[in-house]
Chain A
Amino acid sequence: MTVFTGSDLTCLRGERLVFGDLSFNANTGDAVMLRGRNGAGKSSLLRLMAGLMAPRRGTIRWQGDDIADDKIAHRARLHYLGHQDAIKPVLSVRDNLRLWAELRGISDIDAEIDQALRALDIHHLGKTAGRYLSSGQKRRTALARILLGQSDLWLLDEPTVGLDRESCAELARLIAEFRARGGIVIYSTHVDLDIAAPTILDLDQFAIPMMEWLVEQDDEEDTRESLSPDMNQGKSAEAAI
């Protein structure tokens, strides 16, 4: 049983307060869908979970251990899919994937890549250079990357961008398989992905008015509670399962 939790997370992006007092909780086999307006912090939260960014306040824990304590171990267990596909136009699909396989220390690289390419139905493109791929094919190559090696956590930021309906169904199937193996998937999407019983984490709930934050910065000690107790209660509602 793996447990991935975050508590009292506050995130600042530049000078903008994205969200505050956010908590989440995900167990083995869970899927968490992030929802919220533009700028509500879906990408920021995924980046916090990946350890790319540090939260201004709060901690993210894997099995009770702060992910900031052993970043390498955390990176070894996760796969992150960002907005960009990170595909080099002059390298073939296989060569593009090879680097990530090598960095993960995978022993049988060719077999793993074959398997990933088949799963996404792009095996025939293996030798094609990145520049000849359509945007959907690029996205599928990027998705093939997250199938490489062992992982326990997928952080998918808008994975469906550029994918057609069939590919979305394919993705939903891959996610279901991953969950069946005990993986945790956290994702944001604008398209309806057919995912069984996802937990929904609505980020709009955790938006803090900027003014409140400013006051709090000035008087860190006691304003927090006295300012707006009812609001705080609303926020501590966890994305409990």
Chain B
Amino acid sequence: MNAFVAILRRDLRLALRQGADSVMVVAFFIVTTTLFPFGVGPEANILARIASGVIWVAALLAAMLSLERVFQTDYEDGTLELLTLSPVPLELLVLGKVCAHWLTTGLPLIIAAPVMAVMLNMDQDGFGTLMIAMLIGTPALSLIGAIGAALILGARRGGVLVSLLVLPLYIPVLIFGAGAVEAALLGISAQAQLQIMGAILLLSLAAAPFATAHAIRQAVE
């Protein structure tokens, strides 16, 4: 457990010192969301109708954008090799890094999401569900994304590749995340969707660290 805290603390410290990463992810999220009114027109009811989907798609893209860097810099400067050689299960270290990734990208997105929901004229009934759904969904995005980020280590054009690998795997989260918000907007209970998202989160929590650690071992071999 000390190892988990150690790697988490170091990654957070790195993120704070380098700073720009989290800010850029949120900026990307906001700019992408802002593009939709330009694309579909400013009518309030149309925007309200698509708001939940737009926010989720933008969040997906923003989370994906930051994936490449989760392991890439550590891979390039030899840190990943040494992490693999430290006397701690690599899966635990992966979990720590994913946790740091979520705290620096997922969490800011959750905070930014209601602001964008207001701008897209979403009904206030959906706000609570949107935030809960993102709270469950974004860690799953980080976990699944980490697998992709580890697989592309050492590949050519890793950034484009990671999106091709990860986006199809993100579809279930998108469907249930947006579905939960829509249910709430219709005045129906969103419990079913949230529970399924919880199941997806648990499954990725159980499987993703192992798959990611396996991919990292291949990369540093």
Listed in ascending order, the chain A residues whose CB lies under 8 Å from chain B are: 47, 50-53, 72-73, 75-76, 78, 80, 82-88, 90-91, 95, 98-100, 102-105, 145
Contact = CB atoms under 8 A, between A and B. Distances in A.
A91 B6 contact: no
8 contacts: A50-B85, A75-B87, A83-B78, A86-B81, A88-B14, A90-B18, A103-B83, A105-B3
B87 A104 contact: yes
A91 B162 CA distance: 28
Contacts of A80: 81-82, 85
Contacts of A100: 82, 86
A132 B67 CA distance: 28
Q: Determine the main DSSP class of B at the interface with A.
A: helix
Contacts, number: 71
B89 A72 contact: yes
A145 B220 CA distance: 20
A6 to B, nearest CB: 18
Interface of B: 2-3, 6-7, 10, 13-14, 17-18, 77-79, 81-89, 93, 220-221
Contacts of B3: 102-103, 105
Contacts of A73: 87
Nearest to A85: B78
Contacts of B79: 86, 88
A74 to B, nearest CB: 8
B221 A52 contact: yes
B85 A51 contact: yes
A32 to B, nearest CB: 19
Contacts of B78: 82-86
A196 to B, nearest CB: 28
B200 to A, nearest CB: 31
B2 A105 contact: yes
Contacts of B89: 72
B29 to A, nearest CB: 24
Given A88-B77, A99-B10, A104-B86, 8 more contacts: A51-B85, A52-B81, A82-B82, A83-B78, A86-B79, A91-B14, A103-B6, A103-B88
Given A99-B10, A104-B87, A91 B82 contact: no
A113 B46 CA distance: 61
Nearest to A76: B87
A56 B192 CA distance: 50
B86 A95 contact: no
A51 B84 CA distance: 10
Given A52-B220, A90-B17, A105-B2, A75 B77 contact: no
B77 A84 contact: yes
A212 to B, nearest CB: 25
B7 A99 contact: yes
B81 A75 contact: no
